[in-house]
């Protein structure tokens, strides 16, 4: 752990090494909590409102009380940020610490709030593309909640890593859902396609930005289901997430995607995405 790194825990900024949560916390015992990750480019919280919309939805669906207003959330984040760097804010809210372990909600407990800020480490093989593997999506059916209980996602990502892949593409009933920690895009017959929002995917903020950019730039796109067979015909496949941005896939299940090189549409979209970030951060200064 980095020495003297400050984190926020239940109303206080403290050194990370002194930040402790009770073993009776429901996050520890049950994974009973939700989280968000917001990229911060040189001090600018990228798509803050969109991330807060999703946080509020996760809290509503899990019936955990929201301890802060939007402006309070922003105020809490600011002291943790180094404005000279590209970073991300990670924050989680658990249902709180109860006296005994019981599945049903405890009465009268206050949510536990934890927040930290870390540097974004650029994904170094991005320009060359990455390998991916398809795996059966065996997670629960409430993937639209950004739950801290990530065991399903963790086991899937680990399987991908053990196959020398950067990420897994998850398949439910022969249709693509998303990555273990990302959304999936495919270019099929010249159209950029991503699965529609549903309870089987986490609706990514990066996903929405990509669709907004495609729309503005007249890039043909569609939100529709992608079968595993259709995915195998894609000329390009990408992953999208806040910390890895847009990651091109050049190999799927040991076969080349397209000609095995990073695709032209990825190059175009990645440039447009970088411009979008620059304009966004300039306008918020």
- DSSP per-residue letters across 230-276: HHTT-SEEEEEETTTEEEEEEEETTEESTTSS--HHHHHHHHHHHHH
Query: Is residue 181 close enough to count as binding ligand PLP by CB under 6 A?
Result: yes
C-beta of 256: minimal distance to ligand PLP in Å? 25
Q: Which of 94, 112, 241, 270 binds ligand PLP (CB under 6 A)?
A: 241
Options 11-19, 106-114, 175-183, 225-233: segment touching ligand PLP (CB under 6 A): 175-183
Report the site for ligand PLP in 31-90 (rule: CB under 6 A).
37
Strand order in the sheet with 86-94: 12-15, 6-9, 112-119, 86-94, 33-41, 44-45
C-beta of 142: minimal distance to ligand PLP in Å? 12
Whose structure tokens read 């996050």? 27
Query: Is residue 182 close enough to count as binding ligand PLP by CB under 6 A?
Result: yes
Residue 129: which of 218, 251, 226 has the closest Cα?
Answer: 251
- Calpha distance 71→253 (Å, rounded): 45
Nearer to ligand PLP, 107 or 151 (CB): 151
C-beta of 4: minimal distance to ligand PLP in Å? 28
- Alpha helices (H) in 15-150, listed in sequence order: 26-30, 48-62, 70-77
Q: Which of 6, 146, 216, 277 is catalytic?
A: 146
Query: Is residue 270 close enough to count as binding ligand PLP by CB under 6 A?
Result: no
Query: Is residue 168 close enough to count as binding ligand PLP by CB under 6 A?
Result: no
C-beta nearest to ligand PLP: residue = 204
Q: Which of 166, 202, 219, 257 binds ligand PLP (CB under 6 A)?
A: 202
Name every residue whose Cβ is closer than 8 Å to that of residue 267 and which is 6 or more positions away in sequence: none
Q: Which of 137, 178, 236, 251 binds ligand PLP (CB under 6 A)?
A: 178
Nearest-5° Cα angle at 204, 244 to 67: 105
151-179 in b/e form (b: 16+ CB < 10 A) is: ebbeebbeebeeeebbbbbbbbeebbbbb
| Token representation of residue 109 | 């407990």
Q: Which helix (H) or strand (E) covers residue 178, if one does?
A: strand 175-179
C-beta of 35: minimal distance to ligand PLP in Å? 9
- Calpha distance 228→170 (Å, rounded): 10
Q: Which of 62, 97, 194, 206 binds ligand PLP (CB under 6 A)?
A: 206
Query: Is residue 94 close enough to count as binding ligand PLP by CB under 6 A?
Result: no
C-beta of 156: minimal distance to ligand PLP in Å? 10
Query: Is residue 177 close enough to count as binding ligand PLP by CB under 6 A?
Result: no
277 annotated active-site: no
Contact pattern for ligand PLP over residues 126 through 155, marking x by CB under 6 A:
---------------------------x--
Pairing outcome for strands 86-94 and 44-45: unpaired
Distance of alpha carbon 135 from the chain centroid: 19
Residues forming the active site? 146
**Residue ranges that bind ligand PLP, judged by CB under 6 A:** 37, 153, 178, 181-183, 202, 204-207, 240-242
């Amino acid at each position: 752990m980095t020495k003297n790194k400050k984190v926020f825990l239940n109303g206080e900024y403290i050194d990370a090494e002194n930040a402790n949560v009770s073993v009776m916390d429901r996050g520890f015992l049950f994974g009973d909590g939700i989280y968000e990750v917001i990229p911060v480019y040189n001090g600018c919280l990228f798509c803050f409102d969109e991330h807060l919309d999703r946080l509020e939805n996760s809290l509503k669906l899990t019936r955990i009380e929201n301890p802060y207003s939007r402006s309070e959330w922003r105020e809490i984040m600011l002291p943790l940020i180094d404005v000279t760097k590209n970073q991300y804010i990670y924050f989680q809210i658990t249902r709180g610490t109860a006296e005994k372990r019981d599945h049903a909600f405890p009465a009268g407990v206050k949510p536990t709030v934890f927040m930290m800020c870390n540097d974004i480490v650029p994904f170094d093989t991005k320009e060359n593309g990455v390998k991916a593997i398809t795996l059966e999506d065996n997670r629960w059916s409430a993937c639209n909640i950004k739950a801290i209980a990530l065991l399903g996602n963790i086991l899937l990502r680990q399987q991908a890593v053990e196959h020398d892949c950067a990420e897994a593409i998850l398949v439910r009933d022969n249709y693509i859902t998303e990555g273990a920690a990302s959304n999936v895009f495919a270019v099929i017959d010249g159209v950029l396609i991503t699965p529609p929002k549903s309870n089987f995917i986490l609706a990514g903020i990066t996903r929405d930005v990509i669709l907004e950019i495609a729309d503005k730039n007249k890039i043909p796109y569609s939100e529709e289901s992608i079968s595993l067979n259709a995915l195998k015909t894609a000329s390009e496949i990408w992953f999208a997430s806040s910390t890895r941005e847009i990651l091109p896939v050049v190999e799927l299940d040991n076969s080349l995607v397209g000609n095995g090189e990073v695709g032209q549409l990825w190059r175009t979209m990645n440039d447009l995405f970088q411009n979008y970030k620059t304009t966004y951060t300039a306008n918020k200064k």
